[in-house]
Amino acid sequence: MSTLALMDYDEAVSRYEPVLGVETHIELGTASKMFCGCATTFGAPPNTQVCPVCLGLPGALPVANRAAIEGIIKIGLALNCEIAEWCRFARKNYFYPDMPKNYQISQYDEPLCVDGHLDVEVDGETYRIGIERVHMEEDTGKSMHVGGATGRIQGADHSLVDYNRAGIPLVEIVTKPITGTGDKAPLVARAYATELRELVRALGVSDVRMEQGSMRCDVNVSLMPRGSSQWGTRTETKNVNSLRSVERAVRHEIERQAAVLASGGAVVQETRHFHEDSGTTTAGRSKEEAQDYRYFPEPDLVPMAPSREWVEELRASLPELPAARRRRVQREWNLSDLELRDVVNAGALDLIESTVKAGASPAAARKWWMNELSRRATEQGVELADLPVTPEQVARVQEMVDAGELNDKLARQVFEGVLAGEGDPDQVVAARGLKIVSDDGELAAIVDQAIADNPDVADKVRGGKVAAAGALVGAVMRATGGKADAARARQLILEKLGAS
Amino acid sequence: MSDLTRKTAAELAGLVASGEASAVEVARAHLERVAAVDGQVHAFLHVDEEAVLAQARAVDERRAAGERLGPLAGVPIAHKDVFTTADMPTTAGSKILEGWRPPYDATVTARLRAAGLVILGKANMDEFAMGSSTENSAFGPSRNPWDLTRVPGGSSGGSSAAVAAYEAPLATGTDTGGSIRQPAAVTGIVGVKPTYGGSSRYGVIAFASSLDTPGPFARTVLDAALLHEAFSGHDPMDSTSIDAPVPPVVEAARRADVAGLRVGVVKELAGDGYQPGVLARYREAVELLESLGAKVVEVSCPHFGYALPAYYLIAPSECSSNLARFDAMRYGLRVGDDGTRSAEEVMALTRAQGFGAEVKRRIMLGTYALSSGYYDAYYGKAQQVRTLIKRDFEAAFEQVDVLVSPTTPTTAFPIGERADDPMAMYLADLCTIPANLAGVPAISVPCGLAEPDAAGGEGGGLPVGLQVMAPVLADDRVYRVGAAVEKALEDRWGGPLLAKAPELAEAAQ
């Protein structure tokens, strides 16, 4: 392979204006498939969730899943789309072994949802992303190519196909061309994918896990010289499997296309493949060999004609959407824009809100999740939400802190115990003996001992150097293994040394 | 007991229900008939004697246990090989599916079983239901019992031949452009295409999804109605199935009267290209309806002339997509998989060898008609014609209750005559296609034999069918008119038309 010529990013965006488009596929989390009753559990043994319909056996017919149509309408509504009063499924015809019927039931010129938008924010600036269409289709099976070096079909000995995924309801969301983003283009693309994921997650219609493929993005990028209004030739990059990859893929295509254009070349209209490891793209199918999909209305299914009443019912049932929620939370928790962004980026919004619901103050809840627990999540290399601690447990720890039964240091030890699977906070406190020593009699004896052990320091305090009392408090804390109520200990020391 | 194979389905069910004959006896009589004549007729692709007798025994056991049996329990039936059957191979007449055993029953199959019908075997057909003669079957043609050198019609020609040859009193078929009515007409029996969506397509190997309609064959209108009622009605597994009660077809078949009914004679479905012998019987049938008290008027359906070309764009377009699944990957024939070839090459080789010429022709026609740049001119235009034809029907049904025409322009043609002339073959469905495009129900009932010495001399002495069409979900009307014609003609003839068919030589067993 020839060395990839890239232009420095800053130079690229100073000379060219990127135009973006994002096509996102989202698998709906319905219990059954789009056109049959098969289960949709991820990770089941190959070809165990199949039937005559999703295997496309001769004679079998599809029947549309109402829950899936409900899911896509919710997505359409949340994206401010118009919901068609009448539309049809269409067959997209092409041969591939992972497609049991050699056509995919999709939608063509009559999508269910059209003409919406989604606002995203990058560096304090709002970008309105136009939504061209949202349509319903079925997923294909999954091919596994065995015996080659790359896992791709080239060089493989043979291929295996798992049809468990065939027929899982898939929603395709296509943006309008995104212009005017300049050097922010990669960030805008990422912000869009992030916001879309949050939105769909809030709707509860998909688990939108990019690593499991339940959300997949294709990014289209083209460049035009600054000052021009003539769009350039675009490429479509597939296999973009994380939010970070969305950003990287756009950035890479900008650098690559800029180099091609600057050297007098022409960008080839083609499908490109993103490589997670190198952050680069390579050419796939060229559009010149593009297939003619011979779309036509699916004769096995009746048209979808969602009644206006149903659509309005679904609109009324929409949960609070992420943008509105963020605005509310920012107000209620009194956060700066930056603090809010940190919370959102850490994926802590749900967790903090649940912790607040369980009784903690917003400030305390945010402190635990954003500091101690975020640190531990990073250490363990897991998402914050995947830590084995619940918002209720965090609220309970904070409750004990508020009651003076724990200080921050002890509380951290409690979390350590909870995360280590030693039980809930009360169990950890009991088992580790972490209760604070605030009993005056017990504490007084320890204070006396500390004074006796540190006569020099005690003299300094007696002499008016109140700040020196810190060393005595430290001694008390050491003596109690950190379980003393430090404020009370300090108070006692000062009383005893006549410095209060 | 007189020959059980000559009885109607209603009579046989009565004998079984009363205990005068066991289902096993009935089944055995028909198996013997199959063994005696199917060597000549070739109506069946698959008959498993033991399985047939087991089904019959089950019916007898149910009766012995005191269960009240349905009106067709214990009656043998020939089942078109386009319906999936979990206990029998299903080929759709194609080499590409030779030996395939479906893991599931079609809805029609399941309902036949539930009604206690005894499935004798799978009936021959044109490959993937594409044809009007069974000559496109990968397993050789069936023959017309009236004249073994002639075709029994198609695509459900195995079904029509089995019923006309007394191998079965009943048969299933599917009608996409006339595939039940045309074979019924040319073999002198009754065939009905129900309202589209009135009978389930689940488990019917698709030819053209928006047209395919399962329906019954029988020797009497009442038998056809009983079978229609047994397997029709809403099926949640078929989205295009109509969620409405089955029209009262049995009652209509018993009523058999047309007094006061307004009958429209379709002006466009007669004239040039129709065999004089066919037209003569047809005109007599119209006069007969008038004499029975029907009000006959001529009705024009100006767009029917475009039905055939529209059909030959829509049906191939859908088939080009429906038949894409036969790719050697999951089931059926696989050619050239020697470890050196890619999946794509194996697909191409398999499809090249597995599909017959007519199937390939239609896949190519349909692929072309759907191609980018041609879609609007072909598939799109054909859909517009389809709308116009529906409107012709709607306008006509504002004036009349039913429409009539000949079922097919000619009587049964000789095997081989049209095999190399697809256009001539397509013309066999000239009169039947409009009903498919509009989704309306239609029946073909025998209305006599074309004169032996008719002008042109060809096809004389052979059965002619009268087609009766009614509005969507008014299937009962076609039975009512069909039964009235049947009754009046049988009175005139002193028995059914089929009694005039030559006896087949029975092979020694």
Distance from the Cα of A427 to chain B's closest Cα (Å) equals: 55
Closest partner residue to A62 (CB to CB) among B205, B239, B379 is: B239
pLDDT of residue A409: 87
B324 and A95: CB-CB below 8 Å?
Answer: yes
pLDDT at A178: 97
Domain boundary among the residues A381, A398, A432 is at A432
Mean pLDDT in residue range A284-309: 87
- B201 in contact with A, Cβ within 8 Å: yes
- The rounded distance, in Å, linking the Cα atoms of A234 and B422 is 47
Whether residues A103 and B201 touch (CB distance < 8 A) is answered with: no
Q: Which of B237, B371, B375 sits opposite A61 (nearest CB)?
A: B237
Residue from the list A58, A159, A295 with its beta carbon closest to the beta carbon of B97:
A58
* CA A29 – CA A41 distance, rounded (Å): 9
Query: pLDDT value at position A285?
Result: 67
**A155 and A228 in one domain?**
yes
Kindly list the residues from chain B whose CB atom is less than 8 angstroms away from the CB atom of residue A62. Answer: 239
Q: What's the confidence (pLDDT) of residue A33?
A: 98
> Which of A69, A102, A109 is best to mutate for the B interface (most B CBs within 10 A)?
A102
Q: Residue A3 falls within a domain, yes or no? A: no
Whether residues A373 and A292 fall in one domain: no
Residues A444 and A428 both lie in one domain: no
**Count of Cβ atoms closer than 10 Å to residue A448 Cβ:** 13
Show the tokens assigned to B243. Answer: 């969620």
In a domain, A280, yes or no: yes
Q: Are residues A49 and A188 in the same domain?
A: yes
**Exposed, middle or buried by CB within 10 Å (0-12, 13-18, 19+), for B508?**
exposed
Inter-chain touch A52–B343, beta carbons under 8 Å: no
Mean pLDDT of B115-126: 98
In eight-state DSSP terms, residue B150 is: B
Q: What is the pLDDT of residue B1?
A: 45
Residue A498 has pLDDT above 60, yes or no: yes
Task: Please check whether residues A221 and A241 belong to one and the same domain.
Answer: yes
Site from B325, B345, B350, B351 to mutate, A interface, most A CB atoms within 10 angstroms: B325
Q: Is A367 in the same domain as A297?
A: no
Chain B hits for A63, CB-CB cut-off 8 Å, are 236-239
Cβ within 8 Å, pair A52-B321: no
ipTM of the complex: 0.95
pLDDT one-digit tens code per residue, A179-212: 999 999 999 999 999 999 999 999 999 999 998 8
Give the mean model confidence (pLDDT) for residues B389-396. Answer: 98
Q: Is the pLDDT of residue B456 over 60?
A: no
Distance from CA of B354 to the nearest CA of A (A): 15
| Residue A465 pLDDT > 90 | no
Give the gap in angstroms from C-alpha A65 to the nearest C-alpha of chain B. Answer: 11
- A66-78 and A308-317 are packed helices; what angle lies between their axes, rounded to 10 degrees? 70
Rounded Cα–Cα distance for residues B446 and B282 (Å): 10
Of all residues in chain A, the one with the smallest CA distance to B103 is A52
A60 Cα to chain B: minimum distance (Å): 5
Same domain as A446, residue A383: no
Please report whether residue A4 resides in a domain: no
3-class SS of residue B156: coil
Tell me, yes or no, if B495 comes closer than 8 A to chain A by beta carbon.
no
CB within 8 Å: A296 and B203 = no
Task: Report CB contact under 8 Å: A294, B370.
Answer: yes
Residues facing A281 on adjacent strands: A274
Rounded Cα distance, B378 and A401, in Å = 77
Nearest to A292 among B83, B84, B371 (CB): B371
Q: What is the CATH number of domain B4-308+381-499?
A: 3.90.1300.10
pLDDT for residue B460 is more than 80: no
* Same-domain pairing of A171 and A99: yes
Active-site positions of B?
80, 155, 179
Looking at the structure, tell me whether residues A29 and A120 fall in a common domain.
yes
pLDDT greater at residue A408 or residue B445: B445
Q: Which 8-state DSSP code applies to residue A48?
A: -
Mean pLDDT of B256-278: 94
Question: Average of pLDDT values for B73-97?
Answer: 98
- HEC secondary structure over B208-256: CCCCCEEEEEECCHHHHHHHHHHHECCCCCCCCCCCCCCCCHHHHHHHC
pLDDT at residue A500, rounded to an integer: 62
Contact B138, B171 (CB under 8 A): no
Helix ranges, A106-242 (H): 185-203
Chosen for mutation from B237, B241, B340 (greatest number of chain A CBs closer than 10 Å) is B237
Chain A residues touching chain B at CB-CB below 8 Å:
52, 55-64, 91, 93, 95, 97, 100-103, 159, 161, 292, 294-296, 299-302
Under an 8 A CB cutoff, do A59 and B83 touch? yes
Count how many domains chain A has: 3
Give the gap in angstroms from C-alpha A40 to the nearest C-alpha of chain B.
Answer: 19
Q: Verify that A30 and A100 share a domain, yes or no.
A: yes
pLDDT, tens digit (0-9, with 9 covering 90-100), for A50-64: 999 999 999 999 999
Model pLDDT for residues B322-349, shown as the tens digit of each residue? 999 999 999 999 999 998 898 899 999 9
pLDDT tens per residue, range A92-132: 999 999 999 999 999 999 999 999 999 999 988 999 999 99
Last residue of a domain, one of A416, A432, A448: A432
Closest Cβ–Cβ partner in A97, A292, A299 for B329: A97
Reported confidence tier of residue B457, pLDDT bands at 50, 70, 90: low
CATH number at residue A449: 1.10.10
Kindly determine whether residue A61 and residue B201, on different chains, have CB atoms separated by under 8 Å: yes
Which residues of B, range 283-312, sit inside 8 Å of A by Cβ? none
* pLDDT tens, position by position, B204-217: 999 999 999 999 99
Same domain, yes or no, for A191 and A336?
Answer: no
Last residue of a domain, one of A404, A432, A460: A432
Interface of B with A in 133-192 (CB under 8 A): none
Q: What is the mean pLDDT of chain B?
A: 95
Domain boundaries defined on chain B: 4-308+381-499
Q: With respect to residue A113, please indicate whether it lies within any of the assigned structural domains.
A: yes
* CA–CA distances in Å: residue B115 to residues B44, B59, B68, B199, B290: 22, 10, 11, 15, 38
- A326 and A414: one domain? yes
What pLDDT, on a 0 to 100 scale, did the predictor assign at position A10?
Answer: 96
Q: How confident is the model at residue B166, as a pLDDT?
A: 98
Query: Closest approach of chain A CAs to the CA of B363, in angstroms?
Result: 13
Residue A2, in any domain of the structure: no
> Encoding tokens for residue A444?
């007084």
Classify residue A85 as left (phi > 0), alpha (psi -120 to 50) or beta. alpha
Q: Which residue of B has its CA nearest to A297?
A: B318
Provide the domain limits for residue A339: 320-432
Q: Is residue A17 part of a domain?
A: yes
Best A34, A94, A98, A294 member to test B by mutation, with max B CBs in 10 Å, is A294
By the CB < 8 Å criterion, does B203 face chain A? yes
Does any CB of chain A come closer than 8 Å to the CB of residue B368?
no
Test A294 with B320 for CB contact under 8 angstroms: yes
Which chain A residues contact residue B351 at CB under 8 A?
none
Of A58, A159, A300, the CB nearest to B205: A58
Is residue A145 predicted with pLDDT exceeding 50?
yes
Residue A234 maps to a domain: yes
Burial class (CB in 10 A: 0-12, 13-18, 19+), B390: middle
Alpha-carbon distances, residue A99 vs A141, A165, A166, B326 (angstroms) = 6, 10, 7, 12
Closest chain B C-alpha to A135 CA, distance in angstroms: 20
